[in-house]
Amino acid sequence: MRSRLRPPSRSRRLATGLAAAATPILLLTGCTAAAPSPDSGADADLGAYLGQELDWGGCEDTATSAADAELFANPALECASVEVPLDYGDPEGERAQVALLRLPATGEAEGSLLVDPGGPGGSGTSLVASTVPLWQASPVAERFDIVGFDPRGIGSSTPAVDCYTDEEYDAGDVPRFGAVYDVTSAEQAVELAERCTEGSGGVANLVNAGSANVVRDMDLMRAALGDDKLTYLGYSYGSELGAMYAATYPEKVRAIVLDGAVAPDLTASEFRLSSFTGVQARFDDLAALCAESPDCVLGTDPAAANDRLHEIVRPLIETPAPTASGRDVSVWDVYLGITGGLYSEANWPDIISALTALEAGRADEMLALRDILYTRTADGAYGTDMDTNIAVRCMDSPRLTPEEQTALAREIGEAAPMFDLDVFTAGKYHSECEAWPAPPTRGEPWLGDVEGLPETLVVSVTGDPATPHEGGVAMARALGGSLLTVDGKQHGAYLLGGSTCVDDVVNAYLLDLESPPADARCSL
């Protein structure tokens, strides 16, 4: 599962470019405690890593899929890798490699802008490679090298985290996600942990994938790039990494932009509920839009749209719908496709069209939405790395008991009635992390006190369905930074949202550390 799909159009670029756009990715974004402070001496034994020099070269040989190979062949791009300890508790032990891809500054470089697209499970190398024209039109790329990285386990970084094959994801022979994962027994949880341990080359590779280690990797990247202080752009889950870095290394921060910020004041379960509530709100908006047409597939009464959706999808619970490709579309696929489409208002007509075709017995459009969400390429390779997503969250978040997991599924059904089907909410559920081979390395809340931090910038869309606006407000407050409020209905805004207003504000901050006024507001 390590390929990336070129965004098919500007209207879909946000949903596909940000790995965080997938329902499982965003709704599993938990809240956990920051990495240990550098004052603890935790980084005292990293001298061998701090002195490394990067060997930049062509990117063709670093691509892990045909789609990436095409993107990475761009002669404007350069690639390298940074060595990091696999286990920071044993820095002299096995090493891992974090892949980097950069678009060199067109002028004299003043430093690097490190970019993470979200997830967990998103490839920063693919994001930068697929958005080169946008960066080349940006003044930021005149003065900064734009550097995307693949967090450990993802994309071109090694060792990889692998639990299931792409073919198994195609067939649905993997833990499926509705309100929660459909893990309904301790045996299934054990099987998942064993599959991931074996596929990832052992316990050590699997249990060192958590966000706390990624944050420490980021500091080694900063040093290897030759930057005294970090300049960083993080989308969605990437906002967690940026905030954690700020809390861990406040004296090493130059500028941090967090777009689509995760709420730092919620538990993992509370955040998941808030995300589903946001998705439901956007579905309600879509239903109202659809109801303006007398032949709306969801009916002309938006209040009844949840029931209409259930009528359309209920037959798929027992009998998935065939497609021309030979792949079947399950009820889980339908909800993934709908939710991914809801992440950008520009894509809502595609959802209506796909539901209309689905009710008529044609599932190909819905499968296409589902594949866009997962950034699945035409040759069957997956760009969104759900195996690493699970591994990171199992090492990040406190684990719920079966009773707590079951109660969470019921609560989600109440908060987001579009999901309130028995197949999603009526079973007895176990945490997908129940049998994980090591305990979480973080707790709740995930962001502690932050002191001595330079001004940061949070970009938050009022109608963001995945990381609701309230979370962005809370993040700006927690960091004591600036907030740019953006009126719109999509997930994320900067560079990928088509708003000159947003781009100008963020560019001024990244380039000259110019913060917007307290009431700064843009629209999409």
Catalytic residue among 112, 138, 236, 460: 236
The answer to whether 385 is a known catalytic residue is no
The answer to whether 344 is a known catalytic residue is no
The answer to whether 123 is a known catalytic residue is no
Catalytic residue among 491, 499, 503, 515: 491
Range list of H helices, 263-376 = 268-290, 305-318, 331-342, 348-359, 364-373
d(CA 366, CA 193) in angstroms, rounded, equals: 31
> Which tokens sit at 298?
């969801």
Q: Quick check: 161 and 119 in contact, CB under 8 A?
A: no
Residue count of the chain: 524
Catalytic residue among 333, 385, 464, 503: 464
> Which tokens sit at 459?
């970009």
Element spanning 479, H or E: helix 469-479
With b meaning 16 or more CB within 10 Å and e meaning fewer, what string describes 336-346? Answer: bbbbbbbbbbb
d(CA 394, CA 412) in angstroms, rounded, equals: 20
d(CA 141, CA 147) in angstroms, rounded, equals: 10
How many alpha carbons lie under 13 Å from residue 218 in its C-beta half-sphere?
Answer: 35
Mind spelling out the 3-state secondary structure of 61-91?
A: HHCCCHHHHHHHCCCCCEEEEEEEECCCCCC
Q: Quick check: 490 and 524 in contact, CB under 8 A?
A: yes
Q: What share of the chain is helix, strand, coil (3-state, %, to 5)?
A: 45, 15, 40
* Relative orientation angle of helices 348-359 and 268-290, to the nearest 10 degrees: 80
Q: How many other β-carbons are positioned within 10 Å of the β-carbon of residue 182?
A: 19
Q: Could you list the active site residues?
A: 236, 464, 491
